[in-house]
Chain A
Amino acid sequence: MPRLALAGLVVVAVTTSCVHPAGTARNLADYESKAKNTAESVLSAVETAGIAVDAGTRDRAFPAFVTVVVGEAESDATAAVSGFEAIQPPNATSDRLRDQLGELTDQATDILADTRIAARRAETSDLLAQTQPLQQTAEGLRSFIAEHS
C-alpha cells in the first residue's frame, strides 16, 4: 500500500513540522539573520496595530474588532521576541546585537500592551495617544532591519 504509506508520511510531516525547533545560531551571520527576521515579525505586528488604531480612532472600526486585532498583534510580537531571546548568542559581537534589538522589541511589546489596554477600554483619546509611539517604534524597527540586511 504505497499510498497508505504516503498518507502516513504526510501525517508525520504535518505533526512534526508543527513543533518549532528550538532556536540555535551557528555563527554571527546566522544570528544576525534571525535577529532581522524577529524585527520583521515585530514590525508586522506594530504596523497591523497601527492600522487598526487608526481605523478605530477615526470611527471606521468597531471597538471589539480593534481589540481583537491589537491583541493578536501583541501576542505575535511577544511570541517572536521570546523565540529570539531563547537563542544563544554565538559571540560578544552578537551580544551587542541582542541588546540593540532587545531595546527595540521591549519598547514595541510595551506599546502594544498599552494599545491593547486602551482598545479594550474603547476610549478614543487613549487610543489616539498610542498612534505616535507606534509609528516611532515602527521607524526604529525599520532602520534596524535596513541596517542588518
Chain B
Amino acid sequence: MNPKRLAGMTLGVLTAMGGFVDIGDIVANAETGARFGMSLAWVVVFGVLGICVFAEMAGRVAAVSGRPVFDLVRERLGAKVGLANLFASFFVTFLTLIAEVAGVALALQLATDVNYLLWIPLVGILVWLLIWRVRFENMERVFGLTGLALVVMAVALWKLSPDWGDLFHQANHPAVPRGEGRPTLAYFGIALFGAAMTPYEVFFFSSGAVEERWSRRDLVLNKANVFIGFPLGGFLSLSLMGLTATVFKPRQISVDHLSQAALPTSVALGKVGLALVIVGIFAATFGAALETALSCSYTVSQYFGWQWGKRTAPRDAARFHLLVIVALLSAVLIGLTGVDPIMVTEYSIVLSAAALPLTYIPILLVANDPDYMGERVNGRLSNVAGSIYLVVLVVVSAVTIPLMIATGAGS
C-alpha cells in the first residue's frame, strides 16, 4: 500500500472512533455494563458485524458509482417516501448532534471543573470553524488518531485483572439478572444496537468516500477501513462495558454521567490513564460532532441535489454550509437549555434503532443494482448477511417505541 492509500485508512479509523465510539456508545456501554454485566456483550458484537456489512456496501456503492447514501435513499424510495425518510433521519442525526456537542463540553468539564454549559458555545464555534476551514482529510487524521487514546480503557481493564472467567461466562450465558425484567433488558439491548448502527455512520462514511474521490481502486481500502475500524470501535466499547461491569456492578452503582465512564480507568491506571481517557472521550465526541453536523447537511443536500461537501469552497456550496451553521446553532441553543445530555443521548440511540431500516434498505437494494454497480454488485455472502440483518432491523424498529413506552425508557 502506498502512503496515500495508507493515509486513507484514517477515514475508517475516524469513523470507528467518532462514529462507532461516540457519546452514544460510551453512555450505552457504560450503563449496560454497570447494570447487566457482560450479559448484553453479544449485542455489541452483533451490532459491529451489522455496521460492517452495511458500511462496506455503502462504501462500495460510493466508490463505484460516486453516489453517497442519501442519493440512494431518494432514488430508491422516490420523492415522497424519501422526504419522510429525510425528516426521520435528519431528526435522529440532529438529536445525536446535540448529544455529541454536549459530550465534548462534558469532557472539557471533567478536565477543568468548569461547568459544561459554559463550554457548549465554544464547542459549537470550534466545530463550525473546522468544518468551514479545515480540509476533510486533516480533520479525520487529527481526531481519528487522538481518539485512539481510548485504547487506554482496554489497558485499564487488563490492569484491574478482573475475573475473566466470570466476565466471559456472563457474555456466553446471557441471562436476565436478578431483579431485572426482560423488557428492560431488551430495551438496553436495543439501545446498544442503535448505538452500534447509528445511521449517521453510513451517511458520513459514504459521503466521506465521495469527498476523498474513491474509485474502484479503493475497494480494498474500503474493506480494510470497515473491517479494521468498526471492530476496533467495538473492542473499545466492550472494554468500557467490562470496566463498569467490574468496578460498578458489584457496588450497585448505576451510570448516569459521562464522568462515571472515566472513573474506572482512573482507579486502574491513575492520573495518566485518566488524562488519556478524557482526551480520548474528547476526541471521539468531537469527531462525532463534526460527523453529525456534516451528516445533518449531507442528508438534506443529497435529497435535494444541492452542491454538498468540503471539496469546494463554502461559497460554492452555500446551502450546504448554511445548513451546517443552522444545525450547529440550534444544537448549541438546545444544549444550553440545560436538557440532560445523557438523556438526549439515550433517546438519540434508541430512536436511531427505530429508524435503522430507513437507511439500510435502500443501501441493500442499490448494492444489488447492476445499473449502479456493474459487476461490483453484492456477492452472495453480503446478500445473505444483509438480508438477515434486514429482518432484525425491521423487528427492532417495530418493537422499539412500544418497548420504550412500556419500560419507561429503561428506568
Q: How many B residues have CB within 8 A of the partner chain?
A: 41
In the complex where A17-B408, A48-B253 touch, is A3 in contact with B113 (Cβ < 8 A)?
Answer: no
Instruction: Determine if B87 and A7 form an interchain contact, defined as CB atoms under 8 angstroms apart.
Output: yes
Question: CA of A63 to CA of B409 in the docked complex: distance in angstroms?
Answer: 34
In chain A, positions 33-48 with a C-beta closer than 8 Å to chain B are 40-41, 43-44, 47-48
Query: Are B252 and A43 in contact, CB atoms less than 8 angstroms apart?
Result: yes
Interface-forming stretch among A54-62, A97-105, A107-115, A125-133? A54-62
Listed residue (A7, A17, A69) with the most chain B CB atoms within 10 angstroms of its CB: A7
Which chain A residue lies CB-closest to B250? A47
Name which residue of chain B comes closest to A67, CB basis.
B113
Closest residue of chain A to B80 (Cβ to Cβ) is A1
Nearest residue (CB) in B for A40 is B252
Known: A60-B274, A65-B266, A72-B259. A10 touches B351 (CB 8 A): yes
> Number of A-B pairs whose CB atoms are under 8 Å?
101
Cα(A67)–Cα(B113), bound, Å: 7
- By a CB distance below 8 angstroms, the chain B residues around A59 are 270-271
Q: In the bound complex, what is the Cα–Cα distance between A131 and B260 (angstroms)? A: 18
Determine if A48 and B260 form an interchain contact, defined as CB atoms under 8 angstroms apart. yes
Number of interface residues of A (CB under 8 A): 37
Contacts of B252 in A (CB 8 A): 40, 43-44, 47, 142
Within 8 A of A (CB), among B248-305: 251-254, 256-257, 259-260, 262-263, 266-267, 269-271, 274-275, 278
Chain A residues with CB below 8 A from B259, complex form:
65, 68-69, 72
- Give min CB distance, A69 to chain B, whole Å: 5
Contact between B270 and A47 (Cβ–Cβ < 8 Å)? no
B45 interfacial by beta-carbon distance below 8 Å:
no
Q: Which of B179, B257, B267 contacts A60 (CB 8 A)?
A: B267
Q: What residue in chain B is nearest A54 (Cβ atoms)?
A: B267
B3 shortest CB reach to chain A, Å: 38
Which residues of chain B have C-beta atoms less than 8 A from A149's C-beta?
A: 179
Complex Cα spacing A7 to B358, Å:
12
Among the listed A14, A41, A51, A61, which residue makes an inter-chain contact with B254, where contact means beta carbons less than 8 Å apart?
A41
Across the interface, which residues of A come within 8 angstroms of B254, CB to CB?
40-41, 44
**Residue B161 is within 8 A (CB to CB) of chain A in the complex:** no
Q: In the assembled complex, which residues on chain B have CB atoms less than 8 Å from the CB atom of A60?
A: 266-267, 269-271, 274
A33 to chain B, nearest CB (A): 11
How near does chain B come to A56, taking the closest CB pair, in angstroms?
A: 9
Contact B271 A61 (CB under 8 A): yes
CB-CB under 8 A from B312, the residues of chain A are none
Distance, CA A21 to CA B97, complexed state (A):
28
> A52 an interface residue at 8 Å Cβ cutoff?
yes
| B6 within 8 A of partner (CB) | no
- B141 vs chain A, min Cβ distance (A): 28
Docked CA distance A54–B247 (Å)? 13
- In angstroms, how far is the closest chain A Cβ from the Cβ of B399? 14
- List which B356-411 residues lie within 8 A (CB) of chain A: 401, 404-405, 408-409
Interface string of A8-48 (1 = CB under 8 A from B): 01110110011000000000000000000000110110011
Q: How far is the CA of A7 from the CA of B267 in the complex (A)?
A: 43
A62 to chain B, nearest CB (A): 6
* Chain B residue contacts of A62, Cβ below 8 A: 111, 271, 274-275
Closest to B90 in A: A7
A76 to B85, CA, bound (A): 38
- B139 within 8 Å of A (CB atoms): no
Other-chain residue from A40, A52, A68 in contact with B113 (beta carbon distance below 8 A): A68
Interface pairs A-B: 3 shortest CB-CB: A64-B113, A3-B84, A60-B270
Please report B residues at the A interface, Cβ cutoff 8 Å. 81, 84-85, 87-88, 91, 109-113, 179, 247, 251-254, 256-257, 259-260, 262-263, 266-267, 269-271, 274-275, 278, 339, 343, 347, 351, 354, 401, 404-405, 408-409
20 interchain pairs, CB-CB under 8 A: A3-B85, A3-B87, A3-B88, A4-B87, A6-B88, A9-B401, A14-B351, A17-B408, A17-B409, A40-B254, A48-B260, A55-B263, A55-B267, A60-B271, A62-B271, A65-B266, A69-B259, A76-B257, A142-B252, A149-B179
